[in-house]
Amino acid sequence: MESRLDELDLLRGISVIGMILVITPGAWGVSYPWLNHADWEGVVAVDMIAPAFMFCIGFAIPLSLKNRIAQSFSTSKIALQIIRRGGLLVLLGVFINWTGSADLASLRLPGVLQRIGVTFIAVSLLVLFVGRKSDCFAPSIKQLFVITFVLLTAAWLLFYLVPVPGGQANEFGPVNSWASVIDRSVFSVAHMWEWGQTNGVVTYDPDGIMCSVTTCANVLFGTILGVMYQQKNIHYTKRKLIVFGVALIALGLAFSFVCPIIKKIWTSSFVLVSSGVSVIAFVILWSIKTHPFVNRLLHPAYAYGANALFGFTVSWLGLFWFLDLSLFGELSLRTAGFNALNAVFESKAMASLMFALVFIALLYAVLAFMNYKRWYVRL
């Protein structure tokens, strides 16, 4: 890995650590408010974690494609590799969901890894076909910008102007938005996120079809920066990228007057704001990575970033499976750990947070060893 791309591994690693911090509490419903996602409209810090990961996926796409084209792989062979890799991510995501409930009648079909797999396929194929020029790889940054903003505009217009069946237009709620209606029609509520409820009834899925469509824009913003880096674009400087990130945030906030910022259905305004934050975070890490003390402090992020798929998979298996197995009489590993930590920390929220931090530390030890041995899990 080139040292100047350490910032990409760092951002990827920090985003994975952030995800684990949110999904691995010692006790559900017992956490600090800053670890909770926005209830619906609005945005909080933890809402920026998943988009940052998608941004990193996008940044890596042109680097990977250029390498394969340089090896004289045919377009069809590269396309098949992309579909295979993304398809395996989808299957892995479904398998992880299955570990939480072996009942196929209620198996959740959407999921985080599924969305990563689908968006990876969509954006990678798009960039491959618009970027390959004979035996070279030269995607147009302007063309990628146009595609990204057309995608975001089209998604917003669907919500804003087109009435849902039996309803009306301009619906951004959990029940009657296009995101909710499409997911219920395609998956049925039996196969959606069980906690995506309105008045006790499942109505939406935060990793559904429309969410995946707009997530492609987060990936594309990462791809644009990856292409700029690859082509040594004159605008690929820290100062100009900070301005770009701020501009995206400002545009998203202005857009929110007609398109609410909602992570749970991944609206276009949310994409703009979160992508702007990702760009700024990327530049900050780029700026501080060479400081010796900071470099040592960020070693866990390096380890998680280098083996993001392994760390991500283990944490989600913990969420759905092994942390809640009854290992100590009737107590699960999660409950036993939380009770032990609660005996040390009076605050239940602190005990719950410490459980997640212990999990992160133990997994970091494994990942650091894997990194030392140069063992990397790839699909």
pLDDT digit string, tens, across residues 7-60:
999 999 999 999 999 989 999 888 899 999 999 999 999 999 999 999 999 999
Please report whether residue 40 resides in a domain: no
What pairs with residue 132 in β-bridges? 137
Please report whether residue 209 resides in a domain: yes
Q: Contact at 8 Å (CB) between 55 and 278?
A: yes
> Torsions phi, psi of 177, nearest 5?
-75, 160
For residue 120, what are the domain limits? 50-237+260-266
How many Cβ atoms from other residues are within 10 Å of residue 115's Cβ?
Answer: 24
pLDDT of residue 295: 79
> Torsions phi, psi of 267, nearest 5?
-70, 165
Please report whether residue 368 resides in a domain: no
Q: How far is CA 361 from CA 110, 226, 262, in A?
A: 29, 31, 32
3-state SS, residue 326: strand
Q: Where do we find the tokens 């954006």?
A: 123
What is the pTM for the complete model shown? 0.93
Please report whether residue 193 resides in a domain: yes
Please report whether residue 278 resides in a domain: no
All residue ranges of the chain with pLDDT < 50 are 1-3
Q: 244: closest CA among 215, 262, 222? A: 222
Q: Where do we find the tokens 């007609």?
A: 258
> pLDDT by residue (tens digit) across 143-184?
999 999 999 999 999 999 999 998 899 999 999 999 999 999
Please report whether residue 108 resides in a domain: yes
Residue 333 DSSP symbol? H
* Gyration radius of the chain's alpha carbons: 21
Number of domains in the chain: 1
d(CA 173, CA 167): 12
**The tokens of 81 are what?**
């590799």
pLDDT of residue 163: 96
pLDDT of residue 1: 37
d(CA 132, CA 135): 7
Please report whether residue 320 resides in a domain: no
Please report whether residue 61 resides in a domain: yes
